Each structure stands twice: as C-alpha cells, then as structure tokens.
C-alpha cells in the first residue's frame, strides 16, 4: 500500500526553473511534452556575471494538479527582484507579488505526465503505464522518466513564514557555527542562494496549462499532529533542472528526527537529500493516506565543520496558514485567484494519531551536562544513567536533564520543561580502556521512567534507532535517527563493537541504541568517524558499545549496588583495544570525532 501511495508523491513533485525570458531555449516557452529523444536539454547552472542573467532551479510540490497550484522555495526568485532592501529578512515583511520582480521573469515547471490509475486496485498504476512488454517476459518496466511535460507558470506571490523563521533563528545560531551550503555551492550559486535570510521565503505559483481534468488534491497534515520517530518520505529532484531525466522526484526514507517552534514549524528528518531538493515535499503515511507534512528548506547542514546529516524542512500547514492570511494584503487579481484555489480545505487538523513508534524510547534518553559541554545518556532505571567517560570528563558530579512526558495543551501538543537532577559519577573506565563508559547515580528518583530491556544478541541488518541530544542539546529535546545495524564486530565470537548507519553528531555520545523492532537496548553510542587526513566527519558511520559487554556488571549493580564488575571493562585485551582504535596495530591511535 505504501509503495502505491508513494506514486502520488512522485507525481506531485516537480522542478521549478527561473530565468529571464530571453534565456529560455526556443520551443520551451509553451507547454510541451519533454522526452529524452527530443534533445531539449536544460541549461546547466553556472554562476553568471549578474545573478539575474542566470538560471536558477529547485524542487516544488504540486499541491493541486487540477487547479495547477505549486509551492516551492522562494530563494530562486530573489535574483530577479527589482530592488533589495534590508527588511526582507523581517518576519513581518509584506508579501512580494509578480510586480516586485523583473517583468521578463520566466518560470518553467517540469513534472511527470498524469499517471493512469487502475480502478481495480484503487491507487495502483496500471500495466500500460508500467510498460509491461511481452519481450521482457515477466519483468515490468517502471514509468519512463522521459514521460514529462513542461508548463509555464505565473508567480502569484513570494511570502515568508515567520513561525519558521522565529524558531530557526533560535535553534541555528550563527555563533554555533551552523552552515547550510558547502564551499562548492557557494562558488557555484549566487549570494541569494547561500544567504540564510531567504530560507523562510516560499513561492506560490499557478500553472498556465491544466495538468489534469480529474480533481486531485494532496492531503496535508497539520503539524501539531506530528510525532518524533514517525517514518517519513522525502521527494525532491537533486540538482534541480540539471538532469531531470534521472533525478526528477527521487524518493528517500527516514524518520522525523525532531521538531521545533510554534506548533512544530521547523521539521528535521534523517531522510537523505541533496542540493536541488529544496522545495520538495516531506510526506507521512497515516491511516492509508499519504500526507504532505513539510517543504524542504535545506538538504544539508554543518555545525562547526561537522556534517550533521539531517534535512531541514518547514511545516506545510504553517505555509498554507500564511497564504490564507494574504488576501487582505494582495491585489484584486491575486485575491480572486487565491479564493478560487481554496487552499486550506485539505489540511487535516482533526486527524487522530496515537503514540509514535519511538515515543516511549525517547523517555530513556537524558542530557548529561558537564558544564563545559553536553552529551547524552541512557536511563537504566529511576536512578541510574549509563553514559560515556568522555562526557562526564573527570568530574565527580554532573547535571542530568530529562524532558518530561508530553501533555495536551488545548488542541495542541507540547512538552514540559526539562527536569534537572544532580548526578554522582560512581564509575568511569580508565583512559586506557577501549570501552568508553561511565555510570551516574542520581540524587533523586525520576518517576515514570521507561526501563529498557537489555539485548542479549544482535542481527546485522536489523532496523535500529538512536536517541540523543546531538547537535541541538536541550533546544528542542532528544533527536531520533534511523538506520540499520551495519556490522557486529566480534573478538573470539564475543561482540565488542556495533556499527550503525544512523546519523550521529557531537552531543550524541552516551545515547541509547535501540532495536526498532523489539525496542531492546542494544548499546551505548561511543563515537562516529573522522578522517584525520581531510578532517571530514561521517555521521552515518558510527560505533556503539554492545550491551552484552555491560550486561553482567549492570545486573550485579542492580541487585547489590556492586561496582566491581564494571572494573572488568578496564581489563580488555589488545585485540579489543585495536578494534576500538580502528586499526590492526597500536602504533597509531586515531581519535574519533566524538
């Protein structure tokens, strides 16, 4: 069912290209079918002498194919703005209409042709579209990527989302070293593309040619119904208009890692996206329906030169709300079109959702604050936290912060503030031990704690989740990232290291690693990987200490309060030490990023 529903995401995605009219290649100024054989290739994006003489593109979402409504990121329009003022970044700045941009601005939207629906299976694509051919025997061929069309579009408005901008400015402070474009992008793209002041602007377009006569409106989920850890899908076109033959409407999968701001205006997901996916959609499958939940704002981000590996998006329901507020500010023509579009009718605010699959797991994650830095920890019970030695440093006491359970506030969901408890460091492994572990005992019990079940075995390839406070600390609570257990590294048939593909960032150390299927606690996150030659970090290549290594010590500590069994972690042999040094011989010791 999910695969069938994802077809709607693919056929709602598009590429939006802006340029001056004289730069539009002949034969592409009117709607036309675009095939691989036609020879009509998009212009490669290069950095022009004057930005308004160039061509800019991003992904977009067709929220209504029947009415021809497209929403995309607004940054590709700013190179064509007649004049720029210092007030554009202000959250209360009025909307920009087509009159605010150069009159020769050309907008081209490239999208798939309308799918043919097989009425027998409801949302499936019929065999004619799948291209089943006798000469291929039983091997179906997917919809040819060349079956696309290009349509000219009219700009209705470019408007800001102040709720997103307010949360974004608090969460991603420049002094913390946040960057949303690589050095290559800064060279290739113009100033408007790399300026953070334009990330919260979005464009509303109206296609000049209808895409379908059949009513087709994308279901939109109100952001207040979003739950961390929910499976989401991202649909965007990497590299924009550079090569849509291959990259148009690429699907990736992940989880909703975190939310922030008023009614979850800012969304973060570990679904992997690339430059050009800006403006694409974030989707969530619920109750048999695929819902649009967000618009991609930035596919890549770095913090203090460390790649974070998360995609930043804006809640689509907030964008719709701001569009609905526009008519009293807009001209008569735009007001009339907006009223005809009837945006907002498809926003499902009353959708009932139960607890997310990772919601109870997040209760086991705490923030461990050593004063100079923070890390994460895993609650073993009401009074004991397991974390990493390098998180607590050489301190005897640390602060442990836990976010209290979610409560209802009116029709919206929110979290109580953090509860802070002092913790005593009752054990830390020695610096020479390969196992980077510390045990913290809390001065007071924490009620309502989820006590995880400790894993007794591992299966490479199983789905896993990591919960922790990496990158954001307590700014928006614990983050959830998904992946698989990539490898189980053993010494003498005993697991001594777990490798996963989850995104792990600075501040994730000490966080719990869970099995997505059983919810068992598999391990404690110790590090990700850093290339000492280039300085690059790899968040999707990380390592955890298996719970089976700690299980005996934890059981004895729970039963009698005895800590001596943890001391066995300091007696690990050279083979285990070499594994955690990521090398076969001990001559050179490479220190991980975390």
Q: Kindly list the catalytic residues.
A: 390, 436, 509
**At a CB cut-off of 8 Å and minimum separation 6, what does 350 contact?**
none
- What is the sign, positive or negative, of the torsion defined by CA atoms of 254, 258, 264, 267? negative
- SS3 call for 134: helix
**Structure tokens that stand for 347 in this block:** 């926003």
One-letter-per-residue 3-state SS of 433-456: CCCCCEEEEECCCCCCCCCCCECC
Residue with tokens 């409801």: 122
Q: What is the dihedral angle through the alpha carbons of 502, 164, 18, 49, rounded to the nearest 10 degrees?
A: -90
Residue ranges of alpha helices (H) inside 248-355 are 316-324, 332-341
CA distance 495 to 489: 6
- SS3 call for 188: helix
Exposure string (b/e) for 419-432, b if CB count within 10 Å is 16 or more?
eebebebebbbeee
CA distances from 135 to 129, 131, 138, 140 (A): 16, 11, 9, 11
CA distance 45 to 243: 11
How deeply is 387 buried, as exposed, middle or buried, from its count of CB atoms within 10 A (0-12, 13-18, 19+)?
buried
């Amino acid at each position: 069912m999910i695969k069938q529903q994802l077809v709607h995401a693919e056929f709602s995605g598009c590429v939006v290209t802006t340029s001056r009219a004289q730069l539009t290649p002949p034969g592409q100024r009117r709607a036309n079918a675009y095939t691989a054989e036609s020879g009509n290739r998009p212009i490669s994006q290069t950095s022009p002498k004057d930005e308004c003489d160039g061509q800019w593109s991003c992904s977009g979402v067709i929220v209504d194919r029947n009415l021809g409504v497209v929403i995309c990121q607004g940054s590709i329009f700013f190179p064509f703005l007649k004049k720029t003022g210092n007030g554009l970044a202000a959250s209360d700045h009025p909307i920009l209409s087509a009159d605010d941009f150069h009159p020769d601005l050309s907008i081209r939207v490239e999208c798939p042709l309308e799918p043919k629906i097989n009425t027998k299976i409801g949302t499936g694509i019929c065999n004619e579209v799948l291209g089943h051919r006798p000469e291929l025997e039983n091997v179906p061929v997917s919809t040819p990527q060349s079956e696309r069309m290009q349509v000219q579009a009219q700009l209705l408005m470019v408007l800001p989302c102040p709720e997103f901008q307010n949360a974004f400015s608090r969460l991603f402070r420049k002094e913390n070293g946040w960057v949303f474009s690589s050095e290559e992008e800064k060279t290739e793209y113009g100033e408007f593309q790399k300026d953070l002041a334009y990330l919260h602007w979005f464009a509303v377009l109206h296609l000049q040619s209808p895409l379908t006569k059949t009513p087709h409106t994308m279901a939109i989920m109100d952001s207040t119904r979003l739950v961390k850890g929910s499976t989401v899908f991202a649909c965007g076109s990497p590299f924009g208009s550079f090569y849509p033959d291959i990259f148009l409407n690429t699907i990736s999968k992940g989880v909703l890692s975190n939310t922030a701001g008023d009614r979850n205006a800012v969304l973060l997901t570990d679904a992997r996206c690339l430059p050009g996916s800006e403006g694409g959609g974030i989707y969530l499958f619920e109750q048999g329906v695929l819902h649009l939940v967000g618009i991609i704002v930035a596919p890549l981000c770095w913090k203090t030169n460390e790649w974070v590996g998360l995609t930043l998006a804006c809640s689509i329901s907030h964008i719709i709300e701001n569009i609905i507020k526009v008519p009293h500010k807009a001209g008569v023509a735009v007001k009339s079109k907006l009223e005809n579009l009837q945006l907002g009718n498809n926003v499902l605010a009353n959708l009932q959702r139960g607890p997310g699959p990772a919601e109870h797991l997040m209760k086991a994650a705490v923030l461990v604050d050593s004063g100079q830095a923070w890390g994460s920890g895993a609650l073993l019970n009401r009074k004991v936290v397991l974390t990493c030695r390098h998180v607590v440093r050489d301190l005897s006491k640390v602060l442990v912060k836990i976010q209290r359970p979610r409560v209802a506030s009116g029709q919206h969901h929110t979290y109580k503030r953090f509860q802070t408890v002092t913790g005593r460091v009752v054990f830390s492994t020695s610096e020479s031990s390969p196992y980077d572990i510390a045990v913290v005992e809390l001065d007071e019990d924490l009620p309502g704690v989820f006590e995880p079940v400790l894993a007794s075995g591992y299966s490479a390839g199983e789905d896993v989740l990591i919960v922790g406070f990496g990158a954001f600390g307590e700014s928006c609570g614990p983050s959830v990232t998904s992946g698989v257990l990539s490898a189980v590294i053993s010494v003498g048939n005993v697991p001594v290291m777990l490798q996963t593909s989850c995104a792990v960032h600075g501040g994730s150390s000490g966080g719990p690693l869970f099995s997505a299927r059983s919810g068992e606690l598999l391990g404690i996150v110790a590090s990700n990987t850093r290339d000492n030659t280039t300085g690059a970090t790899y968040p999707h290549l990380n390592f955890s200490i298996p719970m089976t290594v700690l299980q005996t010590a934890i059981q004895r500590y729970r039963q009698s309060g005895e800590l001596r069994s943890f001391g066995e972690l300091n007696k690990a042999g050279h083979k285990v030490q070499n594994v955690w040094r990521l090398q076969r011989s001990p001559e050179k010791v490479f220190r991980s990023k975390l």
